[in-house]
Amino acid sequence: MEQERVPVLVVGGGYAGLSAAALLAWREVPVMLVERHPSTSIQPKAFGVGPRAVELLRPVPGIEEELTGIWAGIGENMRIAIAETLVDPNPHMIISDEQEQFAFLSQLTPAAMVGAPQAEIERVLRVKAEELGADLRFSTELVSLEQDEDGVTALIRSKDGDRVVRADYVVAADGYRSPLRQTLNVPTSGKGSLGEMCAIMFDADLSGLVREREVTLWYLQNSVFTGVIVTGTGVGAHVLGVNLDEGSPDLTEERCVELIRMVTGRPDLDVRLLDKATFGLGHVLADTYQVGRVFFAGDAAHTMPPTGGQGGSTALQDGCDVAWRLWLVLTGQAGPSFMDTYDAERRPIGVLTANAQLANLGARMPPAARIGYPEPLEDQAGALLGHRYHSTAILDEPGDDGSILEDPRVPHGRPGSRAPHVVLDWDGQRISTIDLFGSGFVLMAASPAGQAWMDAGRQVKERLGVRLTRLLVDDELMDVEGRFADRYGVRGGGAVLVRPDGYVAWRSPDADPDPVGTLEQVMRRILSR
């Protein structure tokens, strides 16, 4: 049987798998993706991508422009409410037109919140991954997988027959049922199955109910059913989700049209059904994201209810995150044990996000059986950019409290936190510090006292063979608003090291008598060298 060789095999062509493939291909790491379905999804599924996911994707040329070209500004054109129907005279507004909850985001990041449906985002990711050279194979399934000390051997099957693939690593992004998770006996926790929902995609003229290019997400609680309706998807379609239980009637085409007319309050509405799909709701958390050379991402790692809209963004972040770590290890910049940091950092965030979504489910769609669910996060908007990491790839400072969530409105530049947004002028062009991250490590210091760190960075870069960009603020980069030292916590002569994912790995608030020795030791520790 023919055998193929590839550094990374990705299983699953959803958010996590496609983002991993695109980011690996952009970093020139050969990658093969197998997906059992013939193409990406046609159902809108998840709606919206948070700014943190966009920050991770935006280093790939053109991808942010394509995503925002589909539909941007979800933070300005969205309403979320609990109601009986779309014409409920007294809905309980969770998010109103004014969008005060998200107004602060523009002060913290140049990345937009993208309001496009999952089907369109997957299409963009697929095209971009293929353009960059990723080998994407749809209508192809993983049949079996075996590991040894040197790699992974997988049997894949397509209409052309069976093939053996030998890979260094595998990204398991094979969905909420995750056959790989079962094959590798990964234990799980969480509430488990929470029932099923039928998603009915339809086209109809909802003028008067929905303004142009506005997303409305209404959680429905009425005498007929509980569910959700998403209107204004940007693709000429809307989606009605109906919670199913043992007593649910068969959702025939006639019944679907009847429910849509009831929800919209228009008994004569002309409805064209486009698609209907049933999917499971669940709260299933993998107790580890790593088994040997296999790394779990997306729904395979954390199946969560859709209430809150962060499942898709979290999956995208998983894919981007595992990609830059694999790149460092495969290119010899980091030691093999560096991959342990993926589970250490991403799993606490996956648990936090899944529990927050579960809490939202209890609050927004609350049958009596959901009493006892956790309370929703007090600052759900702040959680979009407020995650913190802790692992051997982060050198915590004395007194760090180990928290995994903080208020991003108060940027401080501590290791483990997302590197703050600061406006800079680079040769007459206004940019953000966020624009500097993605292709490798970045060492930043303020001129003129920080020059010693720049010299040290050059030597350490050559010694260790790592991709390290050295930037001196108020030299080639001008601190337009004078906020760099304060937001990054570096005074005269200090320096900060930012990872490829835009997180602060280490900083020295002040000058160091041996910057070369200190920086080399720091890099070796962070990279498991």
For the annotated catalytic residues, the residue numbers are: 219
Residue 412 token pair: 């401080």
Concatenated DSSP letters of 102-113: GGGGGGT-SPPP
Which of 59, 55, 2 has the alpha carbon at shortest distance from 25?
A: 59
Partners of residue 432 on adjacent β-strands:
423
The CA distances from residue 260 to 83, 219, 247, in Å, are 15, 14, 19
d(CA 353, CA 349): 6
Residue 401 main-chain phi, psi, to 5 deg: -90, 0
Residue 327 token pair: 């790149």
Q: How many CB atoms lie within 10 A of CB 247?
A: 5
Amino acid at 237: A
Helix (H) or strand (E) holding 165: strand 161-172
Which of 142, 76, 81 has the alpha carbon at shortest distance from 112?
A: 76
Q: What is the DSSP letter of 75?
A: T
d(CA 280, CA 92): 26
Looking up tokens 């208020």, which residue turns up? 407
Residue 188 main-chain phi, psi, to 5 deg: -130, 160
Q: Are 15 and 22 in contact (CB under 8 A)?
A: no
Let me know how many helices (H) and strands (E) the chain has, helices first: 11, 25
d(CA 138, CA 200): 25
Helix (H) or strand (E) holding 124: helix 118-131
Q: Give me the helix-helix angle, 15-26 and 118-131, nearest 10°.
A: 30
Q: Are 151 and 166 in contact (CB under 8 A)?
A: yes
Which of 21, 35, 42, 43 has the alpha carbon at shortest distance from 139?
A: 35
Q: What is the DSSP letter of 382?
A: G
Which of 18, 34, 52, 38 has the alpha carbon at shortest distance from 122?
A: 18
d(CA 479, CA 442): 16
Q: What is the rounded (10 degree) CA torsion for 118, 177, 279, 216?
A: -40
User: Quick check: helix, strand or coil at residue 395?
Assistant: coil
d(CA 87, CA 266): 9
d(CA 347, CA 354): 10
Q: Which residues have C-beta within 8 Å of that of residue 66, sequence separation ≥ 6?
A: 124, 128
